[in-house]
A and B are shown apart, each in its own frame.
Chain A
Amino acid sequence: MTHPSSGEALAKSSSGGIGWLLEQRVLLSIAVLALLPWLLPSQALAVNVLIYGVVVMGYNLLFGYTGLLSFGQAAFFGAGAYFTGIAIGRFGVPWFAAVPIAVLLSTCLAAAIGLVSTRTRGIYFSMVTLALAQLVYYVALQAASFTGGENGLRGFTVDRISLFGLQVNFLDPVNKYYVLMAFAALAMWFQSRILNSPFGAVIEAIRENEQRARACGYDVERSKLIVFMLSGAISSLGGCMLALHLSIVPLDILHYQTSGMIVMMVLLGGARSFFGPFVGAASFLILEDVISLWTPHWQIFVGAIFVLFVLFLPKGIWGTPLDMLGIGKARP
């Protein structure tokens, strides 16, 4: 009996334009992000899309790919920002060391929250993540000598960056954008590797059918903890980028409203798609910008649009056309 060997079958099913494009998703995404400052009305908006895009991308690993609805992702976004600011401002750590330190510490925080929350399921998981993230918020509020309390964290500024002997003026918005884009590119490359890896298949199996995944021999609890930590690590990198960008860390980013915004962004853009988080972040921030010009109650309108999306376009702005084209459905 002859049938195509699996290598050939793989090559066949991923040949043609779509398969090739899928393989280049990181490079394509970087290319789009590189053009973003010229596509959007303002540089400031472009930087925010970059930052929130990375945060939401990390969250997508947890929510979109593993199916775990957390309401506490702001904890890691905030932790990344606070740890970066504290490392630079209080301990005089250079920025390039502050970022990996902050990501590492935030991943430890994710391990702690994950250990407790991944033992629960469904709505309980959502509630436990919400509660623990609020705990982080109140710790930041109370530990004012470290975090600046309600006023947010101030007193650290990154104005010049030396890259391989080259001095870059970090106050220039274009320079800033491209330095931060390098972080986003790193995050995208990492996320893409995770999704392509055997572990990426495990989390999808858990999303599809937890009981069967366990019967197949997977330690479901351990896998959930690992993905919770990876997700927290990527989102915390977005926090580091925010701290470098603003030179302050507002307390608000730890609030549950930020977690809610992250959930809305991923659903607007399209959970389970690679570039969807950036589309979602951009759409949300543009909506906020445009609608808040003529009414202070912009959240009512964004909320209404969000409800329409959940009802009629559950795969989001980016995920829906991908789905119609049949991309990303059956990965061989």
Chain B
Amino acid sequence: MSGELLRAEGIGKRFGGFVALEGITVSFAAGQLTSIIGPNGAGKSTFFNILSGALTPTSGKLHFRGRELNGLPQHRFVHQGISRSYQITNIFPDLSVHENVRVAAQALTVSYDIWRNRARLAELHARADAALEAVGLLSKRNELAKFLSHGQQRALEIAIALVSEPELLLLDEPTAGMGPEETKDMVALLERLADRRTVLLVEHKMKMVLGLSKRVVVLHHGRLLADGAPDEIRSNPEVRRVYLGQSEGYG
């Protein structure tokens, strides 16, 4: 398939005797938003942790742009072009909003420089501000991150992931814990992102997922249950049985 960005081949993960994932083979093309859904405990987060390098799969292979990622330490994944946000807000609380993003931007260029003055590295400041503008946080740039509202922290989370200009952006429940207003803002942001980037999204809010995604992958008990366009997923009887039926009230 042309334009293939990421391919997972028979990915499996065990924690002791517990099988979290088994035989996941799936590939993602460049330039579209794909959602990964599934009931709690389906293995979505484990799969995400493997894709971002936080966990090493017990079996299977991961290819990104034709390169095998197995064995690469987590911090190298960003350098390959894979960046992620977290389900539980994961920012640098005592740094300014701007510095949160700037420090992420600098990871790809000048990590170990102890000599230059970072205030003068103008390009990094500009990139950080551009990422903050993209998520609508530029006006908050000088505040400490811990003083932002929950929704703003979720947006900052995405700015941190975005500033490395990743080819693949992994978003783990970006609307977790958000009210309806904040969720609306986040959906608008995701729509803008999906125009220009390859995004993988883990979400619970079903209507939102089906509206946003070009393609939906369903996991259940650590296995791939279904894979297809939102309409196919919506009408898939297996998916309805394990997932949709119980969450029709959501979103």
Q: Is the CB of B96 within 8 A of A330?
A: yes
Q: Is the CB of A211 within 8 A of B90?
A: yes
Q: Is the CB of B114 within 8 A of A200?
A: yes
Task: Give the shortest distance, in Å, between B87 (CB) and chain A (any CB).
Answer: 13
B112's partner among A196, A213, A223 (CB-CB below 8 A) is A223
Query: Which of A143-151, A163-171, A178-186, A202-210 binds B?
Result: A202-210
A-contacting residues, B53-76, CB 8 Å: 54, 73-76
Query: Which of B7-15, B138-146, B201-209 binds A?
Result: B138-146
Given contacts A6-B129, A200-B118, A215-B78, contact A332 B96 (CB under 8 A): yes
Contacts of B111 in A (CB 8 A): 198-199, 202, 217-219, 223
* Interface residues on chain A, number (Cβ under 8 Å): 40
Contacts of B78 in A (CB 8 A): 215-217
Given contacts A3-B133, A214-B75, A230-B114, contact A332 B142 (CB under 8 A): yes
A208's partner among B54, B92, B143 (CB-CB below 8 A) is B92
B189 at the interface (CB under 8 A from A): no
Task: Give the shortest distance, in Å, between A107 (CB) and chain B (any CB).
Answer: 13
Contacts of B114 in A (CB 8 A): 193-194, 197, 199-200, 226, 230
Q: Is the CB of B92 within 8 A of A13?
A: no
Cα(A201)–Cα(B129), bound, Å: 17
Greatest chain A CB density within 10 A among B76, B79, B114, B143 is at B114
Binding site of A, secondary structure by majority: helix, strand, loop or mixed? helix
Cα(A255)–Cα(B96), bound, Å: 39
Residue of B nearest to A220 (CB): B75
Q: Is the CB of B122 within 8 A of A6?
A: yes
Q: Is the CB of B115 within 8 A of A193?
A: yes
Contacts of B74 in A (CB 8 A): 214-215
Q: Is the CB of A217 within 8 A of B126?
A: no
| Chain A window 317-332, contacts with chain B (Cβ cutoff 8 Å), 1 for yes, 0 for no | 0000000000001111
B102 at the interface (CB under 8 A from A): yes
Contacts of B141 in A (CB 8 A): 9, 332
B5 at the interface (CB under 8 A from A): no
Task: Give the shortest distance, in Å, between A179 (CB) and chain B (any CB).
Answer: 27
A123 at the interface (CB under 8 A from B): no
Q: Is the CB of A209 within 8 A of B90?
A: yes
Q: Is the CB of A216 within 8 A of B99?
A: no
Cα(A222)–Cα(B111), bound, Å: 11
A-contacting residues, B185-206, CB 8 Å: none
Contacts of A218 in B (CB 8 A): 75, 107, 111
Residue of A nearest to B138 (CB): A3
Q: Is the CB of B98 within 8 A of A332?
A: yes
Given contacts A212-B91, A212-B160, contact A332 B107 (CB under 8 A): no
Given contacts A202-B111, A330-B96, contact A196 B160 (CB under 8 A): no
B95 at the interface (CB under 8 A from A): yes
Cα(A332)–Cα(B100), bound, Å: 10
Contacts of A209 in B (CB 8 A): 90-93
Q: Is the CB of B94 within 8 A of A208?
A: yes
Q: Is the CB of B129 within 8 A of A9?
A: yes
Contacts of A201 in B (CB 8 A): 99, 102-103, 106, 118
Task: Give the shortest distance, in Å, between A4 (CB) and chain B (any CB).
Answer: 9
B1 at the interface (CB under 8 A from A): no
Cα(A222)–Cα(B112), bound, Å: 9
B181 at the interface (CB under 8 A from A): no
B164 at the interface (CB under 8 A from A): yes
Given contacts A193-B115, A214-B74, A230-B114, contact A6 B126 (CB under 8 A): yes
Residue of B nearest to A208 (CB): B92
Q: Is the CB of A199 within 8 A of B113?
A: yes
Greatest chain A CB density within 10 A among B94, B126, B133 is at B94
Contacts of B91 in A (CB 8 A): 209, 212
Q: Is the CB of A329 within 8 A of B75?
A: no
B116's partner among A10, A198, A204 (CB-CB below 8 A) is A198
> Could you list 16 A-B pairs, sorted by A, with CB under 8 Å?
A3-B129, A3-B133, A193-B115, A197-B117, A199-B113, A199-B114, A200-B118, A204-B95, A212-B86, A215-B78, A215-B83, A217-B104, A220-B75, A330-B144, A331-B99, A332-B99
A residues touching B (Cβ–Cβ < 8 Å)?
A: 1, 3, 5-7, 9-10, 13-14, 193-194, 196-202, 204-205, 208-209, 211-220, 222-223, 226, 230, 329-332
B residues touching A (Cβ–Cβ < 8 Å)?
A: 52, 54, 73-79, 83-84, 86, 90-96, 98-99, 102-104, 106-108, 110-119, 121-122, 125-126, 128-129, 133, 138, 141-144, 160, 164
